[in-house]
Structure 1
Amino acid sequence: MVDYQNQPPSDADAYLVDQIRKGDQEAWQSLIDRFEGRLLAFTDSRIRNRASSEDIVQEAFVGFLISLPNYDGNRRLESYLFSICAYKLTDHLRREGRRPSIQMHHRGSSGEGAAMEPAGSDRVASSIARSVERKAIEESAVRDAIGEQVDRWKSGEGWNKLKAIELLFVVGMPNKEVAEATGLSEQQIANYKSDFQIRLRSIINRMELDEGVFPELA
């Protein structure tokens, strides 16, 4: 049995898709095992209905098979699957005719909050799905960017930076405490933090994502 999970990261998706195109059942099962749980969690958190979530995820996998001839590998496999799942979620919400349970407001010309006219269910469903898809793509992009930067620092022996960044962003310690824990100055820690954020922004910009993703980086 081929261990698809242990293929080189840069080749794993392409290899898996190629095997699925060839009708490899092990590859298809590997795809399901790899993404089903995440897709279920993704839909569960939005509709709170396990049976419906399972149906949506199943439809997403079917949609992936149908669209496979058009998948050229330029998009990450994870993002591609999540976008299909988001569209299936749109269809589900449209069929349900679901609307937000909270009142929405916008700013009027006088600056006072004014109630919006209720939007049609199609518009609401599409907006929710776009928001959900955008979040999934953003999370994936940030994860990839962090991974790339961490690998770069490892290869360059930037262990002090890695330790500082972990304490800052994972543990949540303030600059002063990180400086004390690492024996570095607060200025060095501030520089590491700023450098890390700039590098992530640069890496994400290179991904050439749709302009609707990370509009704050435009």
Structure 2
Amino acid sequence: MTISEPSEIDAHLVARIRDGDSDAWQALIDRYEGRLLAYTNSRIRDRAASEDIVQEAFVGFLISLPNYDGSKRLESYLFSICAYKLTDHLRREGRRPALQLHRRASGDGTNIDFAGGERVASSIARSGERKQIEQSAIRDAIAEQIQRWKQGESWSKLKAIELLYVVGLSNKAVAEKTDLTEQQVANFKSDFQLRLRSIISRMNLDAEVFPELAE
């Protein structure tokens, strides 16, 4: 079967990501990272912060993946999450968000609904307290997964994740410092992200904590 339409490509990528395919996850990042960075950086003019926001948006997508049914275009969905993360960043910085959160033109001339219509007001109004709950949930999920790997003596995974997220090395650099291949490192990274998403999804948090999880 030939997959050529953007919607078909996206649906195929999402299906593979659901199956735990790390190559599909990287393909999704390659496909949308540049667009999200351009959007974010055009609003805050801070490349490092933009990269952090986009990374948070991709993590948010993974967390919300069980609730993504494909009824909304993937590009719109990713931009919605990125808009939430950007708004959070501006509020933490004490800056007034001057964002066009409702619609913008995509590359093919169609409109992208960033904020999901009626959810705009409640999403923008997320408080610092909600942010703390979100951070706590992510911290607890990481602690739970690390403990599982310790119990299973999965030391290679733990070392790779530490080098990736604590030290901040690339997949290639981690592979060079361990006995792992670059593909194994990528697989560990994808597995870790998917497991965090699964753990957080089971926490039954209020929709205002993780709007990305709301149906």
Q: Which has the larger radius of gyration?
A: 1
